[in-house]
Amino acid sequence: MAAVILLCSNVFSAAGIDPRHAVARNQEEARPFLPVGVASTDEPVESLSGKVDREQSTAFLVSPCYAIADYHGVFGKSIVTGRNYTMTIALGSGELESGFQYALKMRPVRTARIPGHGKNGLILMQLERCAGKRLGWLELWVAGTENLVGTSVGMAGYPGDRSVDKLSLQLDCRIRGRNTVNGLLKHDCASRPGASGGPIFVVRDGHIQVIATGWGSSSEIDKVLQTYSDENANLAVPLDMLRDNPEILQVIKSDIDAFGKPNPALP
């Protein structure tokens, strides 16, 4: 897979033991997360650190034919006119050499900015083939995250410090606050570079609903931190920002409506 050169991030655990656990994609526990995949740029891009290489991050299906990815995971530090910004996303569980079921090209079609910040946060990507018709997709919660501080959440993804042979999953982290300047959520879900774009979710009525995507941290400590602090908080892009980008929500809704069948990822 591509080199991991994304945003910094931290791991928290009072016991001093990394709380993420690796789940084989053919296990029942991983089934709801088969729409979560490893996304790699098809060409080198300049990262925030200035290094030029292919980037690897996490992305996930939000409808049969579309996925959400992290802005920097797609474009790196900035957009260069005329450059190819397609990505390849590996999804599902199957017979490919990588152990995935699909390896598909996808291209950026819509950009969502972080409200009040002026920075790009999320990218809507269109897949060359609609893998979600078989794998399903993750449902989005965009009604508002203002009152979610203290809420128990989970995070899934493919961080670069671990093999992509298995999904990295944590189910017992929390939303710790919200930055008053840029609206980003502060959380203590264990994360490392490469997990950017990974879904942060809650479970409502037995269904997984994504409330935010991993974005990084303002500082990084290369060890398990036993005490959470705002100074080292991991950050996430809340999906209620999509209310300021109704064209993205309309594309997603139209794609689901055109499929005309229940979400295959639901129990």
Q: Are 117 and 182 in contact (CB under 8 A)?
A: yes
Hey, what CATH topology would domain 30-137 get? Thrombin, subunit H (2.40.10)
Domains of the chain, by residue range, sit at 30-137
pLDDT of residue 104: 98
Q: How far apart are CA 40 and CA 58, in angstroms?
A: 9
Residue-level pLDDT at 81? 84
pLDDT at 4: 35
Outline where DSSP puts E strands in the chain: 11-12, 21-24, 36-41, 45-46, 52-53, 56-61, 66-70, 87-91, 102-113, 120-127, 139-140, 152-157, 166-178, 185-187, 199-204, 207-217, 224-225, 234-238
Q: What token pair was written down for 186?
A: 């502060």
Taking only the tens of pLDDT, the chain with its 267 residues reads 433 334 567 888 888 888 899 999 999 999 999 999 999 999 999 887 788 889 899 999 999 999 999 998 899 888 888 888 999 999 999 999 889 999 999 999 999 877 655 567 899 999 999 999 999 999 999 987 677 888 999 999 999 888 999 999 999 999 999 887 778 899 999 888 778 899 999 998 888 999 999 987 777 777 888 888 888 888 899 998 898 899 999 999 999 999 999 999 998
The dihedral through the CA atoms of 224, 19, 214, 60 has a sign that is: positive
Is-contact 85 74, C-beta < 8 A? yes
User: Does the predicted model carry a pTM greater than 0.85?
Assistant: yes
pLDDT of residue 58: 96
Q: What is residue 263's predicted lDDT score, i.e. its pLDDT?
A: 97
Query: Rounded to whole angstroms, how far apart are CA atoms 143 and 196?
Result: 22
Strands 234-238 vs 102-113: parallel, antiparallel or unpaired: unpaired
